[in-house]
């Protein structure tokens, strides 16, 4: 009895020591650590918990990026309805067709990628004033005018347009997969914001406008003598009463 108890204790100690030795080995091997995370994520997906599996697959991808980790991350994004992210990772995975795991699962990955693309729509946005910031679902999409339509997952998308000195506006748009929606926004000036005065160059004050003086006319030559003679003639013609 004592021998069996000692033997069991010895086996337990050996298992603990081996586990302790295995952890540093996995921690020092990114590929092995990523593989362990993939197995953990697959278990959560099998239990119907894709939301909890997502950060596990993200960590596996960050630890050791590979076509296989990209594929698993794309599949769980697809399951959660994040079609843009699913398209990104599945496209990355299928870009390595010679990878053994990708070659084996290529047909299924291709179908998933096509399904993701069918669930993505486009939103063409025009806005004034130029330079206004445009956000879609809280994420920056660029400044007006946009160079291309914004690709969005199907469903409801919230569009916000804002600019300094203008009243911001928000609109909810329903996006249909494979189709394009167009929206135009014209921001109104904010009446509560004072307009800045015209900026002058530093160190140079604006001078008040000055009246231009008209040059004096010079009398023509000989005109003064004729005027004097006229005055004398008029004086001579006046008769005393």
What pTM did the predictor assign?
Answer: 0.67
Please report the pLDDT score of residue 15 as a whole number: 44
Assigned superfamily of 120-186: Carboxypeptidase-like, regulatory domain (2.60.40.1120)
Q: What is the pLDDT along the chain (241 residues), one digit of tens a residue?
A: 444 544 444 444 444 444 444 444 455 789 999 999 999 999 999 999 999 999 999 999 999 999 999 999 999 999 999 999 999 999 999 999 999 999 999 999 999 999 999 999 999 999 999 999 999 999 999 999 999 999 999 999 999 999 999 999 999 999 999 999 999 999 999 998 866 555 555 555 566 666 666 666 665 555 555 555 555 545 444 444 4
Please report the pLDDT score of residue 98 as a whole number: 95
For the chain, which residues make up each domain, given as ranges? 8-118, 120-186
Please report the pLDDT score of residue 28 as a whole number: 72
CATH class of the region 8-118: mainly alpha
Question: Which 3-state string (H, E, C) describes the chain?
Answer: CHHHHHHHHHHHHHHHHHHHHHHHHHHCCHHHHHHHHHHHHHHHHHCCCHHHHHHHHHHHHHHCCCHHHHHHHHHHHHHCCCHHHHHHHHHHHHCCCCCHHHHHHHHHHHHHHHHHHHCEEEEEEEEECCCCEEEECCEEEEECCCCCCEEEECEEEEEEEECCCECCEEEEEEECCCCEEEEEEECCECCCCCCCCCCCCCCCCCCCCCCCCCCCCCCCCCHHHHHHHHHHHHHHHCCCC
């Amino acid at each position: 009895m004592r021998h069996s108890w000692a033997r069991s204790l010895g086996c337990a100690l050996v298992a603990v020591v081996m586990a302790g030795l295995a952890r540093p080995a996995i921690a020092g091997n990114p590929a092995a650590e990523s593989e362990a995370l993939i197995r953990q994520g697959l278990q959560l997906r099998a239990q119907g918990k894709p939301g909890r599996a997502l950060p596990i697959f993200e960590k596996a991808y960050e630890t050791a990026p590979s076509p296989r980790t990209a594929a698993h991350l794309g599949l769980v994004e697809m399951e959660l309805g994040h079609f843009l992210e699913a398209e990104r990772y599945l496209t990355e995975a299928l870009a390595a067709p010679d990878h053994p795991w990708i070659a084996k699962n290529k047909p299924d990955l291709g179908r998933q990628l096509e399904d993701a693309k069918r669930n993505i729509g486009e939103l063409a946005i025009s806005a004034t004033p130029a330079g206004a910031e445009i956000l879609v679902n809280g994420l920056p999409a660029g400044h007006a005018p946009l160079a291309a339509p914004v690709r969005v997952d199907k469903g409801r998308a919230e569009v916000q347009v804002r600019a300094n000195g203008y009243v911001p506006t928000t609109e909810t748009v329903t996006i249909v997969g494979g189709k394009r929606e167009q929206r135009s926004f014209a921001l109104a000036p904010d009446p509560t914001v004072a307009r800045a005065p015209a900026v002058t160059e530093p160190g140079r004050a604006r001078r008040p406008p000055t009246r231009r003086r008209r040059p004096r006319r010079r009398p023509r030559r000989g005109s003064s003598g004729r005027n004097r003679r006229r005055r004398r003639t008029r004086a001579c013609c006046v008769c005393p009463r």
